[in-house]
Amino acid sequence: MFGMEFRRIFNRKTVIMLLLLIALNVTVFLWMYKTGKYESQVSDETYSQHVESILKQGDTINAISIFNKGGQSEYAERNNQKTIDKYASIGEIETVKINGNIIITVIKNRFTHLTICVFMVIFLFRVFQGEEYKSMQTMLYATRNGRKRLAIARWGLSCVSLMVFIILNYAVIFGCVYVIDGYKCSDLLAPIQSVVEFYDCAMKTSIIGYIFFYIAATFLFSFSILIVMWLCMYFSDNRILSMSLMISLMAVEYLMYQVIAEQSKIVFLKYINLFNLVMPGDFLYKYSNYELFNYPVNKLTTEIVLSTALILALSTIIFAIAENKRPIKKSSRLENWFGNVTNIVVGSFHGIIGNCKMFGLEIYKLLIVNRGLVYLVVVAVISCMMLDTSQIKHMGIGALLENVYNTYGGPISEEFVEYYNEQIENLNAVDEQYELALEKYDKGIITEEEFDREQFVYEGYAGARSCVDRLTEQYSYLNRLKSERNIEGYLLSDRGYRILFQSDHSGKDLLVAVVICLLFCNGYAYDKRMRVKELIYSTRDGRNKIHRTRILVMTLLCGIAFALVYGLEFYEIQCVCPMRWWSAPVQSLPFFEGCRVNISLGFLVFLFEVSRFVMMVTLGILVYVLSYSRSSKEALIIPLAGAAIYIKIKAIANPAITITMSAIIIVFTVLGWIYVVRNRKLESKIR
């Protein structure tokens, strides 16, 4: 029964979908990894010093609280004592110097938890697929093993498959980090506290031990959520109602998680909370307690107990329901009410769709019928998760330069030249003073202490010197530009432009390619599959107009995908390190020195974004053209493989090759589309 159930749930389509999900997770992970967000920090404080300071702090708090016994402070005292005891018991760990990236990836990669949630939803839908019809349920319920035993088999299968999925996800991620960072296996045996981020982890374990613990905890938490979702599925045969219940439940939990403050009397609702199981917080690697009736309770222990209790209790309820539930029953009032509301909503929706013209209906077909909306939502979620709009806080030379760009940015002005000369003079004065001091020190005129003071002042100007060096470089470049090519370059910060034009955008390009291929691979193949191709061709507008309409629809959907990926990227750059001086000639940026065309930076940015958009639409048309003569699978795979090769070449080739290659692709795609529109062979075949 277990095997047959496995075969039923994990059909080829589901397996491919899950593998794609893992691939997506790894792609997002690698993307984030490249940005350096998963790098372990470096601390001046050693682990033993850290523990010592916590214990000292604890003692100080204890000393103060002697004067404040009872009431509110009771919890504080107990918490303090519990923390002291905990750290005292693990304080003697001997840490080693290692690269902590492998474990940082585990705790910081939140997307994996989202992937696991998606897996659970897919799994549950597959489990109950086909049983939304009473007839299938009644048939199963009339068999010997079709009730509790079937539920137990499914429970076991969900347990095993969830575990396998989690392990697979982390194994692939660890594999990637291992390949990129080249770990020594001995690093994995080092105590977990060897990594700075785990200084507050109150577990006596090695890195590999912690990885196993983390996977086990993730499984435990996820499985409890799966069981909750399962119970929601039992709530009603109406899948939408079941999912609404689940979403409402999670929304309430999320609200409590967000709103309740740490000092609140009902803080336990923040931690005895399902949301912690969906997206585990830092309690997994930082020792911390919360207040429950004046007693400190460990957060991690709470989540483990909560998930275990949920699994045991809800599983028992599920088995009991499976045995005693009957497929045929009178609908509850809620189900009737929900059914009526659904009918009204669906009726209105179809009323609107019914009034749509060809354009609207094609959008409906791609977004709703062929699930394009789901792909766009996934892209939106990924893009939003990647989005980091916090402005870079410049330090040292960066801050000095930013200040100069903000004050004197633009065409070279007299004020800037004045400022620049002033800085040079200042630095020269400092240099002279230092050299004089050195001379005096050599001759024994000043003491070592006096010389150190002079040296300290001299070194204090190191940042200003670097800043001036950078400005000198830029100033002389702009002067050369003026004298040699008569181009009046601007003094500006190139950080944002560098990110836009010089960073590797392969990850985003690939994401866009995937979503376009998924969106449009059914464009024509769907007509063939549903056997309506002939019907469409027999109508007045079914030959030329429909193709034009579909290209328009594609352009619109490409626009949405563009906004979701590249639009958000642009917004992020403008937030983090804004691109200013759009009217400046492109040659203002040293990496565009060789550019022979005199255009402004703003226009170049515009051209860059437009070329991206044109390539997106081209890919869309290519997929559409292929779906005309091939199946939807081929229309998905062939352009995707082509796009991947194109992206790879683009990343390593120079702009001239990229532009030529893009032009050839565009020409061939347009020819292909004309072939589709003008083709008469198909008509003769139909006849």
Partner 1 sequence: MLLEIENLSQKYGDFVALNSISFQVEEGVYGILGPNGAGKSTFMNLLTDNVLRTSGSISLDGKDILSMGEAYRDTLGYMPQQQGYYEDFSVTEFLKYIGSLKGIAKKELNNIISELLTRLNLEDVRNKKMKKLSGGMRQRVLFAQALLNNPRILVLDEPTVGLDPKERVNMRNMIKEISQDKIIFVSTHIVSDIENIADKIILLKKGEIVAFDRPDNLISRLPIEYEKNLESVYILNFETCD
Binding site for partner 1 (CB under 8 A): 1, 3-5, 7-8, 11, 13, 129-130, 133-146, 150, 326-330
Residue 123 Cβ, how far from partner 1 at the closest point, in Å? 15
| For partner 1, the closer CB: 370 or 588 | 370
- Phi, psi of 12, deg, nearest 5: -55, -45
| For partner 1, the closer CB: 238 or 629 | 238
CA distance 623 to 522: 9
Residue 133 Cβ, how far from partner 1 at the closest point, in Å? 5
366 by Cβ neighbours in 10 Å (0-12 / 13-18 / 19+) ranks as buried
The DSSP bridge pattern shows strands 410-411 and 490-491 to be: antiparallel
| For partner 1, the closer CB: 144 or 681 | 144
| For partner 1, the closer CB: 66 or 328 | 328
Token pair belonging to 552:
């328009």
**483: number of Cβ within 10 Å:** 9
> Checking phi first, is residue 302 left (phi over 0); if not, alpha (psi -120 to 50) or beta?
alpha
| For partner 1, the closer CB: 144 or 531 | 144
CA distance 359 to 264: 54
Residue 141 Cβ, how far from partner 1 at the closest point, in Å? 5
Token pair belonging to 400:
């000095």
Token pair belonging to 13:
């389509």
Residue 41 Cβ, how far from partner 1 at the closest point, in Å? 49
- Phi, psi of 206, deg, nearest 5: -90, 175
Buried/exposed 417-434: b ≥16 CB within 10 Å, e otherwise = eeebeebeeebeebeeeb
| For partner 1, the closer CB: 3 or 594 | 3
Residue 146 Cβ, how far from partner 1 at the closest point, in Å? 5
CA distance 406 to 662: 38
Residue 164 Cβ, how far from partner 1 at the closest point, in Å? 21
Please, are residues 510 and 644 in contact by the beta-carbon 8 Å criterion?
yes
Residue 333 Cβ, how far from partner 1 at the closest point, in Å? 10
Cα 217 to Cα 160, 172, 506, 580, distances in angstroms? 15, 18, 34, 48
| For partner 1, the closer CB: 130 or 655 | 130
Q: Find the helix or strand (DSSP H, E) in which 410 lies.
A: strand 410-411
CA dihedral 530, 535, 536, 541 (to 10 degrees): -170
SS (H, E, C) 447-497: CHHHHHHHHHHHHHCHHHHHHHHHHHHHHHHHHHHHHHHCCCCEECCCHHH
CA distance 645 to 494: 30
- Please name the residues in contact with 54: beta carbons below 8 A apart, sequence gap of 6 or more: 83, 84, 87
Residue 3 Cβ, how far from partner 1 at the closest point, in Å? 8
Token pair belonging to 485:
């090519």
Residue 135 Cβ, how far from partner 1 at the closest point, in Å? 3
Residue 149 Cβ, how far from partner 1 at the closest point, in Å? 8
| For partner 1, the closer CB: 34 or 325 | 325
- Please name the residues in contact with 487: beta carbons below 8 A apart, sequence gap of 6 or more: 481, 585, 587, 598
**646: number of Cβ within 10 Å:** 19
For 276-334, where are the E strands, in sequence order? 289-292, 295-298
| For partner 1, the closer CB: 148 or 394 | 148
Residue 277 Cβ, how far from partner 1 at the closest point, in Å? 31
| For partner 1, the closer CB: 237 or 509 | 237
- Please name the residues in contact with 415: beta carbons below 8 A apart, sequence gap of 6 or more: 408
Which one, of 376, 426, 437, lies nearest residue 563 by Cα?
376
| For partner 1, the closer CB: 144 or 687 | 144
Q: How many degrees, rounded to 5, is the angle at CA 373 between CA 368 and CA 376?
A: 165
| For partner 1, the closer CB: 141 or 537 | 141
Residue 24 Cβ, how far from partner 1 at the closest point, in Å? 23
Residue 6 Cβ, how far from partner 1 at the closest point, in Å? 11
Residue 1 Cβ, how far from partner 1 at the closest point, in Å? 4
| For partner 1, the closer CB: 150 or 304 | 150
| For partner 1, the closer CB: 48 or 129 | 129
CA distance 601 to 580: 9
